[in-house]
């Protein structure tokens, strides 16, 4: 099922009308004078080749990237479309910026930092889904809260990944950073290496930011039994330190077989491209996200995509490509 509900921030700041949302998103784009103007929607030949930056095998990024590539090719937006496996948000951003990828998902908090360093060069096509921070421990572990991780070993994501950025901020918010009296021992492990370490008992916990459910976590849970720690108490400190990039989220009961519902932290996941990507390709991609949404949801998904015009525009204040903003206005002015 596609989640067409407005995200938390839109609800909490009512009254916010649909028209005001679109005007706000468009204004954020059009205020940047160095971004290209919206091209007229004249016929445009397909891209010869589109490359979608993904993520690690077993993660949601790579699944979504594969479905998007197939849809771009099947619907004539690109003559050929392929995916590449990457380490996550930072690598996706750098590949898109360098031109070795056409577009790809990037976490909003990572995107904000990277966009500040490369002003005007990268923009969003839309918010495609929510990432859920998983704090994973073995089910037979005696660890009951995040604070219990003081002095223990925790996998914090691959170098340069969006998980690594959020993990460092979460650990600091809990008062367990490098300068604390009993800091977490951080290990820069990605999803698959981190789950292998959990299986062996080499680390006590793993932080991972991804969709629901993440296939590799499902497999590990079936093998050794996993639990997830509640992170909600850390949200106020994250919000006060970093603004609106972090929000309350819930991993529902049985998202992974036999696991209870748990409160956690959500981060918007944005589909990014370079600001100079041609307007018609962007327009056609937006139409795919809206009109072919069901093609873009992995079979394992619990329906946490945000593939409707109302939610696609909610990019946590980061600029939309002008052609994307114009297309959303046309769909729901």
User: Does one domain contain both 193 and 214?
Assistant: yes
User: Does one domain contain both 120 and 41?
Assistant: yes
Got the DSSP string for 209-268?
EE-SS-HHHHHHHHHH-EEE---GGGHHHHHHHHGGGEEEEEE-TTSSTTPPPEEEEEEE
In a domain, 1, yes or no: no
Q: Which two tokens stand for residue 236?
A: 């106020």
Per-residue pLDDT at 27:
40
Per-residue pLDDT at 244:
85
Mean pLDDT of all residues in 6-14: 28
Contact between 62 and 85 (Cβ < 8 Å): yes
Q: Which two tokens stand for residue 84?
A: 């590449």
Per-residue pLDDT at 211:
86
Contact between 223 and 198 (Cβ < 8 Å): no
User: Does one domain contain both 258 and 144?
Assistant: yes
The answer on pLDDT for 118 being more than 50 is yes
Q: How far apart are CA 218 and CA 203, in angstroms?
A: 19
Per-residue pLDDT at 332:
77
User: Does one domain contain both 138 and 241?
Assistant: yes
Q: How far is CA 46 from the centre of its chain?
A: 27
Mean pLDDT of all residues in 233-254: 93
In a domain, 257, yes or no: yes
Q: How far apart are CA 116 and CA 160, in angstroms?
A: 16
In a domain, 2, yes or no: no
Confidence of residue 26 (pLDDT cuts 50, 70, 90): very low
Q: How far apart are CA 315 and CA 128, in angstroms?
A: 9
Q: Is the peptide bond before 166 cis (omega within 30 degrees of 0)?
A: no
Contact between 47 and 77 (Cβ < 8 Å): yes
User: Does one domain contain both 148 and 214?
Assistant: yes
User: Does one domain contain both 84 and 108?
Assistant: yes
Q: Which two tokens stand for residue 266?
A: 């959500």
In a domain, 310, yes or no: yes
Mean pLDDT of all residues in 305-320: 86
For 113, how many CA atoms within 13 A lie in the half-sphere containing its CB? 14
Q: What is the mean pLDDT of the chain?
A: 86
Per-residue pLDDT at 259:
96
Per-residue pLDDT at 302:
66
Higher pLDDT, 158 or 44: 158
Nearest C-alpha neighbor of 21 from the set 11, 10, 5: 10
Higher pLDDT, 38 or 142: 142
User: Does one domain contain both 120 and 147?
Assistant: no
In a domain, 3, yes or no: no
Partnered with residue 138 across adjacent β-strands are 226
CATH number at residue 245: 3.40.190.10
Confidence of residue 303 (pLDDT cuts 50, 70, 90): low
Domain count, the chain: 2
Could you give the angle at the alpha carbon of 291 between the alpha carbons of 288 and 293, nearest 5°? 75
3-state SS of 28-55 is: HHHCCCCCCCCCCCCCCCCEEEEEEECC
8-state DSSP, 102: S
Query: What tens digit of pLDDT does each residue of 205-219 get?
Result: 999 998 889 989 999
Per-residue pLDDT at 43:
54
The answer on pLDDT for 69 being more than 70 is yes
Q: Which two tokens stand for residue 245?
A: 């990039």
The answer on pLDDT for 154 being more than 80 is yes
Highest mean pLDDT pick, 21-25, 61-65, 101-105 = 101-105
Domain of residue 214 covers: 132-267
The answer on pLDDT for 29 being more than 70 is no
- Percentage of residues in the chain with pLDDT exceeding 70? 85
- Percentage of residues in the chain with pLDDT exceeding 90? 72
The answer on pLDDT for 6 being more than 60 is no
Which H or E run contains 124?
A: strand 122-138
């Amino acid at each position: 099922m596609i989640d067409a509900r407005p995200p938390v921030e839109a609800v909490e700041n009512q009254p916010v009308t649909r028209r005001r949302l679109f005007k706000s998103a468009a204004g954020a784009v059009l205020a940047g004078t160095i971004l290209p103007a919206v091209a007229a929607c004249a016929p445009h030949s397909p891209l010869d080749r589109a490359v979608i930056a993904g993520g690690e095998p077993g993660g949601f990024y790579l699944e979504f990237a594969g479905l998007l590539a197939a849809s771009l090719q099947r619907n004539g937006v690109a003559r050929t479309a392929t995916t590449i496996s990457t380490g996550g948000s930072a690598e996706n951003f750098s590949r898109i910026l360098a031109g070795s990828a056409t577009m790809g998902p990037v976490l909003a908090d990572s995107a904000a930092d990277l966009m500040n360093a490369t002003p005007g060069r990268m923009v969003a096509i839309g918010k495609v889904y929510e990432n859920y921070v998983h704090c994973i421990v073995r089910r037979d572990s005696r660890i009951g809260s995040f604070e219990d991780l003081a002095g223990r070993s925790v996998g914090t994501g691959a170098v340069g990944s969006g998980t690594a950025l959020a993990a460092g901020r979460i650990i600091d918010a809990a008062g367990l950073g490098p300068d604390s009296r009993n800091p977490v021992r951080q290990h820069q492990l990605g999803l698959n290496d981190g789950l292998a370490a959990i299986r062996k008992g080499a680390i006590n916990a793993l932080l991972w930011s991804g969709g629901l459910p993440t296939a590799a976590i499902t497999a590990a849970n079936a093998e050794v039994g996993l639990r997830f720690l509640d992170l909600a108490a850390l949200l106020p400190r994250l919000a006060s330190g970093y603004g609106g990039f972090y929000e309350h989220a819930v991993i529902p009961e049985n998202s992974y077989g036999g696991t209870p519902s748990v409160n956690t932290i959500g981060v918007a996941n944005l589909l990014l491209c370079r600001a100079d990507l041609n307007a018609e390709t962007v327009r056609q991609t937006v139409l795919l996200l809206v009109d072919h949404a069901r093609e873009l949801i992995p079979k394992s998904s619990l329906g946490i995509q945000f593939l409707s015009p109302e939610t696609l525009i909610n990019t946590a204040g980061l600029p939309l490509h002008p052609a994307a903003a114009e297309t959303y206005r046309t769909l729901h002015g």
